[in-house]
């Protein structure tokens, strides 16, 4: 049963990723990206990461993707007939060969290693959000604060960038 779900989420997310890159209309690309994000969040559920599932749906599908679609609708872009880069055909063959070799290496690798203390049974005791919270606010508190400062800086920067400069406004009035 788990294998069926994994196959569904994996195949649909890969197809949606290819559609995001290949479709012509930017709004359709955005909707394909939405399908990709939701199915990747399904993979998170299969990996016992329920908190990340919720964060993925709320932040990615709910906030970031809406921002993308908002800018797409705001700019109302006309798609050119030539929507791929001029050198695109030359890139496809090296990409396919490289990816095949990478997959060959990955499937053969054993990926063993020392195990941590967060076994699935230990996480299920109090839930995934509890386990992440304990870890985040004990060992990763400094990084958490840095991310907060980073996001504040990013938002201020975005507002400063997107604001209409004063010189343009006065020129338009005159």
Partner 1 sequence: MIPLSAYVAVSAVLFATGLLGVLIRRNFIIVLMSVEIMLNAATINLVAFSHYLEAMQGQIVALFIIAIAAGEAAIGLAIIIVVFRGKISTNVDEMNLLKW
Is-contact 20 29, C-beta < 8 A? Answer: yes
| Structure-token match 């908002």, residue found | 70
What's the closest the beta carbon of residue 72 comes to partner 1, in angstroms?
Answer: 6
Going from the C-alpha of 169 to that of each of 60, 160, 166, 173, the distances in angstroms are 34, 15, 5, 6
Distance, in Å, from the CA atom of 44 to the CA atom of 121, rounded to the nearest integer, reads 17
Tokens of 33: 């990206």
Coil, strand or helix at 22:
helix
18 to 37, contacts with partner 1 by CB under 8 A?
Answer: 18, 20-21, 26, 29-30, 33, 36-37
- Which of 8, 38, 54, 75 touches partner 1 by CB under 8 A? 75
The 113-142 site mask, x for binding partner 1 (CB under 8 A), equals xxxxxxxx-------x--xx--xx---x--
What's the closest the beta carbon of residue 85 comes to partner 1, in angstroms?
Answer: 5
What's the closest the beta carbon of residue 100 comes to partner 1, in angstroms?
Answer: 10
| Structure-token match 């993979």, residue found | 43
Please tell me whether residue 12 binds partner 1 under the rule CB under 8 A. no
Please tell me whether residue 4 binds partner 1 under the rule CB under 8 A. no
- Which of 8, 46, 124, 145 touches partner 1 by CB under 8 A? 46
């Amino acid at each position: 049963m788990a294998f069926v779900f994994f196959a569904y989420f994996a195949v649909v997310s890969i197809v949606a990723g290819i559609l995001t890159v290949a479709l012509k209309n930017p709004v359709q690309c955005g909707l394909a990206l939405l399908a990709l994000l939701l199915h990747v969040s399904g993979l998170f559920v299969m990996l016992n990461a329920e908190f990340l599932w919720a964060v993925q749906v709320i932040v990615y599908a709910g906030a970031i993707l809406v921002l993308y679609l908002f800018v797409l609708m705001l700019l109302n872009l006309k798609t050119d007939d030539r929507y791929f880069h001029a050198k695109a055909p030359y890139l496809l063959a090296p990409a396919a060969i490289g990816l095949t070799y990478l997959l060959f290496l990955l499937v053969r690798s054993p990926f063993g290693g020392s195990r941590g203390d967060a076994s699935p049974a230990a996480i299920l005791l109090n839930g995934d959000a509890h386990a992440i919270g304990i870890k985040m606010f004990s060992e990763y508190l400094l990084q958490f604060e840095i991310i907060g400062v980073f996001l504040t800086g990013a938002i201020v920067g975005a507002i400063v960038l997107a604001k209409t400069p004063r010189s343009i406004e006065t020129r338009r009035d005159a």
